[in-house]
Amino acid sequence: MVRAINRRSVVEAIAHHGALSRSQVARAVGLSKPTTSEVVTGLLTAGLIREAGSTHGTQGPKAVLYEVNDAAAHVIGIDLGRRWVRAAVADLSGRIIARHDERARLRSNQTLLDQLGDVARTVMRERGIEWSKVAQVVVGSPGVADPVRGVVMLPANLPGWERQGMVESIRARFEAPVMIENDVNLAALGELTQGHGRQTGDFAYLWIGTGVGLGLVINGRLHRGAHGLAGEIGFLPISTDGEHAAGKWPRWFASPSVQEATDRLAAAREMTNPPTLRTVFSLARKGDPLAREVVDVVAGLVARAVSTVAGVVDPEMIILGGGVGHNGDLLLHPIEMALRSLTPLSVQVVTSALGTDAVLHGAVGTATSAAWDALLAESAND
């Protein structure tokens, strides 16, 4: 364990400072020169660092410089949603070097499972990287994976995804280590490292789309709860137009207030079918006053979720994501207006800096961290 810790310290120092000599590494991490030399030699043998030239312009003999070998292995992040399956391959720095997006194949669980394996291999093949170079795969999915029972609990909008053995069925599609993580949690982690979360270690990522979910980051760390179910606000018994039963929030946009507003819009515009929220937002951007009324109703419902989260968690910031939450240009102002009448608490509300890529960035970052853990542990045992 000590060897693995020392190797991690050296890798992190080189990654942070750039190419370093052995003596520079020793000063940066506080190790003795003999220990540093041993660690550097071990990392070189494992292929996790490589020579990067030598010092120049200094007195005395030149010293060899070392840099992190980001190409030593690769990771894959996958965002599995009801509409899209997105995959990205990244090097060990977490830099995405290729991605591939496809419409989700929802004909059956088998079809969707096969697609997960196909899309991962497609993105590797398009980049010309051998599959043997994959050190970690992270799949972001609705619900929470229970590896003990082998099931995905509460997989909103993916019927049948909760069946027994689903976790193993997902892992069987990859000849590499696989982690299955809640998609909203990954979106929050993506914001933590690549988005608005860099400004604060206390925030909530509120996902509002075909489902409703919450990712909580407290003191810079993802909060999962005792059973991994922290943030499942769709099951809070909160009234929306008189509906008090738990589990109503994932269907809150079918509530009477939203339906009445969309019905008025459809009747006035002589629409054959009730408009989707995507259509409503499009019309609102064009200045349609009835569409703006629907937006205001939706904003009021979102404000209730925001005020609830603010009262329980007291985050510095609430980040809106998901198909509905991404419409901040229309929603943020009416949300702020509604909050003034709902709560005396102050909370900053913003839209995701990463948009629809938040889950993918979180998956890649999680995969990169897990890959380094495994590679450093393996190298320390050699």
**Distance in angstroms (rounded) separating the CA atoms of residues 123 and 79:** 13
308's tokens:
């609830």
Mean pLDDT over 55-69 rounds to: 81
**Distance in angstroms (rounded) separating the CA atoms of residues 208 and 328:** 12
Tell me, what's the pLDDT at 256?
A: 73
Mean pLDDT over 247-252 rounds to: 53
Tell me, what's the pLDDT at 106?
A: 87
369's tokens:
């961290």
- At residue 353, the 3 state secondary structure works out as coil
Highest mean pLDDT among 116-120, 252-256, 266-270: 116-120
- Residues 164-185 have pLDDT tens digits of 888 999 999 999 999 999 999 9
- Residues 127-142 have pLDDT tens digits of 899 999 999 999 999 9
Residue 34 CA, chain-centre distance (Å), reads: 41
**Distance in angstroms (rounded) separating the CA atoms of residues 82 and 212:** 13
Q: What is the mean pLDDT of the chain?
A: 90
Q: Are strands 151-153 and 96-103 parallel, antiparallel or unpaired?
A: unpaired
> Do 86 and 362 contact (CB within 8 A), yes or no?
no
Inform me whether the pLDDT recorded for 242 exceeds 80: no
176's tokens:
């590499």
Confidence tier at 362 by pLDDT (50, 70, 90): very high
Highest mean pLDDT among 50-64, 232-246, 303-317, 348-362: 348-362
Confidence tier at 232 by pLDDT (50, 70, 90): confident
Within a 10 A sphere around the Cβ of 121, how many other Cβ atoms?
18
> Do 117 and 174 contact (CB within 8 A), yes or no?
yes
Tell me, what's the pLDDT at 139?
A: 97
Confidence tier at 224 by pLDDT (50, 70, 90): very high
Tell me, what's the pLDDT at 19?
A: 93
Inform me whether the pLDDT recorded for 279 exceeds 50: yes
Contacts of 60 by beta carbon, 8 Å cutoff, 6+ apart: none
Tell me, what's the pLDDT at 27?
A: 94
Tell me, what's the pLDDT at 244?
A: 45
Within a 10 A sphere around the Cβ of 237, how many other Cβ atoms?
11
Tell me, what's the pLDDT at 149?
A: 82
> Do 299 and 307 contact (CB within 8 A), yes or no?
no
Confidence tier at 75 by pLDDT (50, 70, 90): very high
Within a 10 A sphere around the Cβ of 311, how many other Cβ atoms?
13
61's tokens:
């003999």
- At residue 197, the 3 state secondary structure works out as helix
Inform me whether the pLDDT recorded for 304 exceeds 80: yes
- Give the DSSP letter of residue 20: B
Amino acid letter, residue 287: G
**Sheet with 203-208, edge to edge strand ranges:** 221-223, 212-218, 203-208, 317-321, 348-351
Inform me whether the pLDDT recorded for 59 exceeds 80: no
- Residues 85-127 have pLDDT tens digits of 999 999 999 999 999 999 999 888 999 999 999 999 999 998 8
Tell me, what's the pLDDT at 237?
A: 63
Q: Are strands 212-218 and 203-208 parallel, antiparallel or unpaired?
A: antiparallel
Mean pLDDT over 13-39 rounds to: 94
First to last CA, the chain: 12
> Do 291 and 283 contact (CB within 8 A), yes or no?
yes
Inform me whether the pLDDT recorded for 197 exceeds 60: yes
**Distance in angstroms (rounded) separating the CA atoms of residues 366 and 77:** 8
